């Protein structure tokens, strides 16, 4: 797999790996240099940082893996955050009506899965660009979640409190395991599976796919199908990790976070190029940047600006390095 | 695209929301009076979106997008709010605001044009960066020097905003409509490689486009600060989304190569009327709907977007092909 | 299209667009005519017959449980007094969105507008505009002192709350050690006012206490939990946390519970009993504070009606269902709803705030 991907992505993967290690190093150095702690306790706390990273980035990576596939094929889904909100609202409605945990989990997963497939269908039926359809979905699903909560939960007051450990299984107890399985499955699929390569082909040229005898419509739909599975898992992990579901405000800006991770991972936003591994590394990179700013005691008011600047610099430098090659390719 | 579809949609929207608002008319004079106030409120409210939609349309012609517009407007406003509100304001804050607005746009432009970063990513990054810069400049304060600047209030009034928006669209829009520049951008957005072969200076054009977008955030910030009188680091959340929806609704294609600034005006007004209508109809909603009418804001915005774009791209299909229209050849999907 | 195969810019507007636009205008005029005739007979353009009092209430944002409880209290008052209540607001805590609501209601000619401003300075012009048209303006929950509002209904004395919180945490920490702050946003005025009073008092009264970190929780309980977990890991010697909003406290409590630092790190703040009940019962935290948001909404509407009716609002005035009016010491136009209620394991079941 590593040999098949292009040189620029390979460099990006190496950069992200190095970057992640560097950021971890900075955190460790900060912990060790703390004035009032022993080395053992610093190492212990560094362990906690690493152990917490998995569960905390799990929703971003899970949704990111699904969206990466969709972007491979040249489409985009901006409504993932809002779909997660609908899934969370369904979970809340089922919970408030006294369904048992398994039914709630299933309802949450299926809602996200079905909506993702519906997005795919809508894009094909209306023949409108995916950005527009899912941009509409971004606001539409948010409103839908609010209306559903209002209509199906008596005395809905803006939030649904879920204080019952049985309903928090996937998000609180097993997020790391779920994430690990999903990552391994995605990487194995990328290495040995055929479909991701077909998606990439579709992203390069739908017309070429059609001439080759493949069905572009089906390929596009299959990305949303697979994306739906990952998004369902992401919704499950995210929703069950919350004690309190607020349809109006949960998962705000989630799509931008996920897209940031994907693009940082070297996937071409216009399709046809990319890797699942990059998305995973990109998500961890963004997460560790936030962590480092906290551990390095950077002033509160400067953190967001530094995060933004870092994304711009990393991608800017990378693009600049490959610009000449790209221009030559373009004019071939 | 049928140019009359969107105005009809707009008028239908106004009529519908007038019907369900809590206002009743006894006479024609009342009616005229109400609409006078209605427009006097609506235009200044919509001014920032209207102004920005001009720039965003031009950006989208080149198959780009600018997610950082909201952050740019607020950053320009924040920096301008650092100055004392007196006569000197015109000599200090205003030139600095213009310069800053241009610089911010130029940074976006250099990322896109020189470094070849995909626009959605470049401006996603700068959106965060500029918003973060607002926090650095402002901290947790809210500044309001704008009340005290002599003559500043003119930009808050209906006349002032109509003049600013009018000049922009009448002069800028008609120049754009007939300029070679626009046709070069259209070609650039339609096929960048072809544009290079045709001798269009792609890098230069992209720089110009994003700098223009940046520059336009200054009048937007001017109208916004004059209207609201104060600014803080968290002002105008979600403005970029409104601008993008307005432009797309107006018939501009996100893939580039097609669009008109005049369509964007209607798009921006469609959204403003929708917002205003839902605000006015809360009494009606309480009586007739099983849920809060404000929830419909999200649903209707999404629905309107899909409907508008679908109408724009599909209403023409049954008619004989217009050779100049890119929709004439159905996309292979 | 008789243009010799050349498509001139804008020609489609001239040929078909113009005719169609005229048609559209006619259709719209017809629609307006129907609307106008359908509701004729009422002589007022403001939409309110004059006999019914209409009061508009603007929270900082909608779809949040705290303001939802306020709404329920306001609705109860509106029902009792036989007035019409319009309750609406922005979906994000934005000052300029709030201004648009004020403009809409000013145009509709309501009798009073009660505002919980996100940005106190920005509403000034709109309050002036409303007052020019004879509309009474009150602020509640968060003040805008310079806006020219008629009255402020404050849930609690800002200074008292900030100092109560720091005193409580100081007592639990034995007045020494490291403490931290969790706050929803750096722009919310009332939260930051409380934060400022707390910080000032910590500096002047508790020299052995050291503020080590402030985290922003973005009005999301899940973000709050994650941020506090980080904070707990970063600061092993942390002894206390003050959380200043209804999402940060349960988020912090959940973080303490999950990291097993409950009991070791003291926590207090203001949040809703509905969300905090499990944590209080488990002993994750000793206490938190709140006032009755329903009473806040209720009192605001009752006072608004009195002002609309031209009654003078004076200290010690009896109000149905509330204590006699208490004014702030520093501001003669600020009514204080009550002292904050301190919730503990013992008394949490005695109160029903509806949230």
Report whether CATH 3.30.420.40 matches the domain C54-155+293-338: no
- The reply to whether residue A157 touches residue C68, judged by beta carbons under 8 angstroms, is yes
Q: Is B224's Cβ below 8 Å from some Cβ in C? A: yes
pLDDT band of B133, cuts 50, 70, 90:
very high
Q: Is B234's Cβ below 8 Å from some Cβ in A? A: no
Q: Is C103's Cβ below 8 Å from some Cβ in A? A: no
Beta partners for residue C136, in sequence order = C112
CA torsion through residues C97, C99, C102, C103, sign: negative
Tell me what pLDDT residue B193 has: 87
Tell me what pLDDT residue C28 has: 54
DSSP string, B148-186: GSTTGGGGGSHHHHHHHHHHIIIIIHHHHHH-HHHHHHH
Tell me what pLDDT residue B318 has: 47
Q: How far apart are the first and last CA of chain C?
A: 66
Interface of A with C in 249-278 (CB under 8 A): 249-250, 252
pLDDT beyond 90 at C92? no
pLDDT band of B181, cuts 50, 70, 90:
very high
Q: Is C234's Cβ below 8 Å from some Cβ in A? A: yes
Chains in contact with A via at least 3 Cβ–Cβ pairs below 8 Å: B, C
Contacts of A270 in chain B (CB under 8 A): 118
**How far is residue B323 CA from its own chain's centroid?**
30
CA torsion through residues C25, C31, C37, C39, sign: negative
Q: How far apart (Å, rounded) are the C-alpha atoms in residues B310 and B330?
A: 14
pLDDT (mean) for A215-223: 94
Q: Domain limits of chain B? A: 5-20+29-316
Minimal Cα–Cα distance from C211 to chain A, Å?
A: 13
Nearest to C150 by CA among C320, C311, C324, C340: C311
Phi and psi angles of residue A288, each rounded to the nearest 5 degrees, phi first: -70, -30
Of C35, C122, C187, the CB nearest to B228: C122
Cβ–Cβ pairs < 8 A, chains A and B: 162
The answer to whether the CB of C52 falls within 8 A of the CB of C42 is no
- The reply to whether residue A56 touches residue C64, judged by beta carbons under 8 angstroms, is no
Task: Collect all residues with Cβ–Cβ distance below 8 Å to A73 and sequence separation of at least 6.
Answer: A199, A200, A202, A203, A219, A220, A223, A271
Q: Is B111's Cβ below 8 Å from some Cβ in A? A: yes
Q: What are C181-238's pLDDT values in tens digits? A: 999 888 788 898 899 999 999 999 999 999 999 998 888 888 899 999 999 998 888 9
Mean pLDDT of chain C: 85
pLDDT (mean) for A282-289: 94
**In this prediction, what percent of chain B has a pLDDT beyond 90?**
58
Q: Is A45's Cβ below 8 Å from some Cβ in C? A: yes
Tell me what pLDDT residue C133 has: 92
The answer to whether the CB of B48 falls within 8 A of the CB of B164 is no
Q: Which residue of C lies nearest to A248 if distances are taken between CA atoms?
A: C63
Q: Which residue has the higher pLDDT, A96 or B318?
A: A96
Of C38, C91, C96, the CB nearest to B235: C96
Beta partners for residue C87, in sequence order = C57
**In this prediction, what percent of chain A has a pLDDT beyond 90?**
61
In chain C, which residues fall in CATH 3.40.50.2300?
A: 54-155+293-338, 158-290
Tell me what pLDDT residue C329 has: 85
Q: Which CATH class is domain B5-20+29-316?
A: mainly alpha
pLDDT beyond 70 at B305? yes
Tell me what pLDDT residue A93 has: 96
pLDDT (mean) for B225-242: 92
Chains in contact with B via at least 3 Cβ–Cβ pairs below 8 Å: A, C
Q: How far apart (Å, rounded) are the C-alpha atoms in residues C113 and C93?
A: 18
pLDDT band of A271, cuts 50, 70, 90:
confident
If you count them, how many residues does chain A have? Answer: 332
Q: Is A300's Cβ below 8 Å from some Cβ in C? A: yes
Tokens of C139: 């602020």
Residue B275: is it exposed, middle or buried by C-beta count within 10 angstroms (0-12/13-18/19+)? buried
DSSP string, A60-92: HHHHHHHHHHHHHTT---TTHHHHHHHHHHHHH
- The reply to whether residue A316 touches residue B122, judged by beta carbons under 8 angstroms, is yes
Q: What are C253-277's pLDDT values in tens digits? A: 999 999 999 989 999 999 988 889 9
Q: How far apart (Å, rounded) are the C-alpha atoms in residues B86 and B151?
A: 10
Minimal Cα–Cα distance from A309 to chain B, Å?
A: 5
DSSP string, A228-295: HHHHHHHHHHHHHT-SEE-TTTTTTTHHHHHHHHHHHTT--TTSS---HHHHHHHHHHHHHHHHHHHH
Q: Is B299's Cβ below 8 Å from some Cβ in C? A: no
What are the angstrom distances between the C-alpha of C54 and each of A13, A231, C301?
62, 46, 10
pLDDT beyond 50 at C5? no
- The reply to whether residue A311 touches residue B128, judged by beta carbons under 8 angstroms, is yes
The answer to whether the CB of B34 falls within 8 A of the CB of C107 is yes
Tokens of C97: 């969105």
pLDDT beyond 60 at C49? no
Interface of B with A in 29-88 (CB under 8 A): none
Q: What are B196-232's pLDDT values in tens digits? A: 889 999 999 999 999 999 999 999 999 999 999 999 9
- The reply to whether residue A320 touches residue B126, judged by beta carbons under 8 angstroms, is no
Tell me what pLDDT residue B317 has: 54
Give the global pTM: 0.91
Q: Which domains does chain A have, with CATH numbers?
A: 7-331 (1.10.3470)
- The reply to whether residue B132 touches residue A305, judged by beta carbons under 8 angstroms, is yes
The answer to whether the CB of C7 falls within 8 A of the CB of B324 is yes
Tokens of A227: 């994306």
Nearest to C129 by CA among C146, C106, C101: C106
- The reply to whether residue A52 touches residue C250, judged by beta carbons under 8 angstroms, is no
The answer to whether the CB of A132 falls within 8 A of the CB of B254 is yes
Task: Collect all residues with Cβ–Cβ distance below 8 Å to B7 and sequence separation of at least 6.
Answer: B266, C21, C24
Contacts of A268 in chain B (CB under 8 A): 118
Q: How far apart (Å, rounded) are the C-alpha atoms in residues C266 and C282?
A: 14
Tokens of A317: 């430098």
pLDDT band of C23, cuts 50, 70, 90:
low
Give me the numbers of helices (H) and strands (E) for chain A, helices first please.
Answer: 13, 2
- With H, G, I as helix, E, B as strand and everything else as coil, classify residue B56: helix
**How far is residue B223 CA from its own chain's centroid?**
13
Q: What are A121-145's pLDDT values in tens digits? A: 999 998 888 988 999 999 999 999 9
Q: Which residue of C lies nearest to B284 if distances are taken between CA atoms?
A: C86
The answer to whether the CB of B267 falls within 8 A of the CB of B48 is no
Tell me what pLDDT residue B328 has: 37
Q: How far apart (Å, rounded) are the C-alpha atoms in residues A13 and C167?
A: 51
pLDDT beyond 50 at A8? yes
Mean pLDDT of chain A: 90
Q: Is C67's Cβ below 8 Å from some Cβ in A? A: yes
pLDDT (mean) for B239-259: 89
CATH fold for domain C158-290: Rossmann fold (3.40.50)
Tell me what pLDDT residue B322 has: 41
Tell me what pLDDT residue C183 has: 93
pLDDT (mean) for B140-160: 91
Contacts 24+ apart (CB under 8 A), C20-23: C20/B2, C20/B3, C20/B4, C20/B8, C21/B4, C21/B7, C23/B4
Q: How far apart (Å, rounded) are the C-alpha atoms in residues B97 and B137?
A: 14
Task: For an interface test with A, give the residue of B298, B313, B332 to mutate (most A CBs within 10 A).
Answer: B298
pLDDT (mean) for A67-76: 95
pLDDT (mean) for A90-103: 94
Interface of A with B in 143-182 (CB under 8 A): 143-144, 146-147, 150-151
Tell me what pLDDT residue B6 has: 82
Q: How far apart (Å, rounded) are the C-alpha atoms in residues A70 and A223?
A: 5
Nearest to B191 by CA among B313, B66, B63, B65: B63
pLDDT beyond 70 at B332? no
| Residue C139 neighbours by CB distance under 10 Å | 27
If you count them, how many residues does chain C have? Answer: 355
Contacts of A252 in chain C (CB under 8 A): 218, 220
Most confident residue range from A84-93, B38-47, B191-200, C154-163: A84-93
Q: What are B94-124's pLDDT values in tens digits? A: 999 999 999 999 999 999 999 888 898 899 9
pLDDT beyond 50 at A6? yes
Q: Is C216's Cβ below 8 Å from some Cβ in A? A: yes
ipTM of the complex: 0.90
pLDDT (mean) for A117-123: 95
Tell me what pLDDT residue A37 has: 66
């Amino acid at each position: 797999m590593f040999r098949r991907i292009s040189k620029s992505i390979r460099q990006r993967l190496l950069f992200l790996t190095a970057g992640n290690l560097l950021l971890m190093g900075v955190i460790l150095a900060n912990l060790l240099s703390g004035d009032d702690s022993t080395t053992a306790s610093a190492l212990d706390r560094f362990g906690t940082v690493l152990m917490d990273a998995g569960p905390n980035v799990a929703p971003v990576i899970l949704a990111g893996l699904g969206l990466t596939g969709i972007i491979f094929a040249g489409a985009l889904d901006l409504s993932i955050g809002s779909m997660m909100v609908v899934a969370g609202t369904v979970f809340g409605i089922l919970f408030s009506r006294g369904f048992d945990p398994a039914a709630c989990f299933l309802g949450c997963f299926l809602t996200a899965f079905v909506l993702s497939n519906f997005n795919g269908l809508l894009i094909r039926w209306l023949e409108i660009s995916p950005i527009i359809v899912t941009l509409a979905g971004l606001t539409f699903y948010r409103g839908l979640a609010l209306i559903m909560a209002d209509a199906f939960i008596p005395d809905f007051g803006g939030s649904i409190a879920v204080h019952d450990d049985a309903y928090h299984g996937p998000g609180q107890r097993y997020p790391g395991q779920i994430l690990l399985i999903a990552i391994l499955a995605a990487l194995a699929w990328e290495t040995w599976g055929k479909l991701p390569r077909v998606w990439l082909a579709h992203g390069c040229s739908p017309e070429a796919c059609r001439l080759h005898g493949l069905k572009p419509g089906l390929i596009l739909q299959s990305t949303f199908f697979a994306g739906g599975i990952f998004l369902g898992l992401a919704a499950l992990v995210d929703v069950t990790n919350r004690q309190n579901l607020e349809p109006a405000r949960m998962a705000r800006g989630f799509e931008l976070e996920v897209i940031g991770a994907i693009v940082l991972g070297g996937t071409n936003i216009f399709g046809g190029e990319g890797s699942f591994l990059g998305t995973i590394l990109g998500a961890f990179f963004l997460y560790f940047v936030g962590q480092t700013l906290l551990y390095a005691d950077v002033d509160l008011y400067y953190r967001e600006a530094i995060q933004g600047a870092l994304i711009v610099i990393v991608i800017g430098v990378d693009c600049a390095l490959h610009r000449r090659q790209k221009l030559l390719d373009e004019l071939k | 695209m049928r140019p009359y579809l969107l105005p009809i949609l707009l008028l239908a929207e106004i009529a519908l929301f007038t019907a369900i608002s809590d206002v009743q008319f006894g006479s024609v004079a009342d009616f005229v009076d109400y609409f006078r106030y209605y427009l006097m409120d609506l235009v200044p409210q919509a001014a920032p979106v209207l102004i920005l939609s001009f720039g965003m349309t031009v950006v989208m012609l080149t198959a780009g997008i600018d997610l950082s517009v909201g952050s740019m407007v607020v950053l320009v406003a924040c920096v301008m709010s650092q100055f004392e509100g007196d006569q000197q304001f015109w000599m200090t804050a205003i030139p600095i605001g213009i310069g800053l607005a241009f610089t911010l746009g130029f940074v976006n432009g250099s990322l896109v044009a020189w470094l070849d970063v995909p626009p959605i990513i470049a401006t996603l990054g700068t959106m965060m960066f500029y918003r973060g810069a607002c926090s650095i400049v402002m901290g947790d304060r809210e500044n309001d020097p704008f009340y005290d600047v002599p003559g500043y209030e003119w930009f808050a009034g209906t006349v002032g905003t109509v003049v600013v928006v009018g000049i922009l669209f009448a002069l800028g829009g008609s120049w754009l409509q007939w300029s070679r520049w626009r046709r070069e951008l259209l070609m650039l957005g339609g096929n960048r490689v072809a544009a290079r072969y045709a001798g269009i200076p792609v890098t230069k054009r992209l720089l110009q486009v994003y700098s223009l977008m940046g520059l336009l955030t200054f009048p937007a910030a001017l109208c916004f600060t004059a209207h609201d009188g104060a600014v803080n680091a968290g002002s105008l959340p979600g403005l970029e989304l409104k601008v993008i929806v307005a432009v797309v609704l107006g018939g501009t294609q996100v893939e580039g190569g097609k669009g008109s600034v005049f369509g964007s005006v209607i798009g921006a007004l469609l959204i403003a009327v929708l917002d205003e209508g839902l605000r006015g109809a809360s009494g009606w909603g309480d009586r007739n709907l099983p849920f809060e009418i404000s929830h419909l804001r999200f649903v209707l915005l999404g629905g309107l977007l899909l409907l508008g774009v679908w109408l724009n791209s599909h209403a023409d299909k049954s008619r004989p092909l217009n050779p100049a229209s890119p929709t004439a050849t159905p996309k292979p999907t | 299209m008789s243009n010799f195969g050349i498509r001139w810019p804008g020609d489609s507007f001239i040929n078909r667009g113009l005719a169609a636009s005229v048609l559209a205008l006619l259709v719209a005029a017809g629609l307006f005519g129907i609307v106008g005739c359908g509701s004729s007979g009422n002589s007022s353009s403001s939409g309110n017959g004059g006999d019914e009092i209409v009061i508009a209430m603007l929270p900082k944002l909608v779809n949040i449980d705290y303001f939802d409880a306020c709404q329920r209290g306001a609705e109860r008052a509106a029902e009792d007094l036989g007035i019409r209540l319009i309750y609406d607001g922005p979906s994000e805590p934005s000052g300029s969105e709030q201004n648009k609501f004020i403009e809409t209601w000013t145009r509709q000619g309501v009798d009073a507008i009660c505002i919980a401003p996100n940005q106190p300075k920005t509403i000034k012009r709109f309050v002036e505009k409303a007052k020019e048209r004879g509309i009474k303006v009150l602020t509640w929950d968060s003040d805008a002192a310079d806006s020219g509002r008629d009255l402020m209904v404050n849930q609690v004395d800002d200074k008292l709350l900030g100092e109560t919180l720091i005193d409580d945490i100081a007592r639990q920490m034995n007045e020494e050690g490291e403490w931290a702050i969790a706050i929803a946003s750096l722009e919310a005025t009332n939260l930051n006012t409380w934060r400022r009073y707390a910080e000032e008092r910590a500096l002047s009264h508790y020299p052995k206490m050291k503020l080590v970190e402030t985290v922003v929780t973005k009005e999301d309980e899940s973000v709050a939990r994650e941020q506090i977990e980080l904070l707990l890991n970063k600061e092993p010697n942390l002894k206390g946390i003050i959380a200043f909003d209804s999402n940060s406290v349960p988020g912090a409590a959940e973080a303490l519970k999950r990291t097993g630092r409950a009991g070791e790190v003291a926590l207090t703040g203001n949040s809703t009993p509905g969300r905090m009940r499990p944590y209080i019962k488990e002993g994750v935290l000793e206490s938190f504070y709140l006032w009755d948001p329903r009473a806040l909404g209720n009192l605001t509407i009752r006072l608004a009606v009195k002002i609309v009716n031209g009654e003078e609002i004076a200290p010690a005035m009896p109000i149905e269902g509330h204590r006699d009016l208490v004014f702030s010491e520093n501001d003669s136009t600020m009514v204080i709803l009550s002292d904050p209620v301190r919730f503990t394991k013992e008394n949490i079941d005695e109160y029903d705030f509806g949230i």
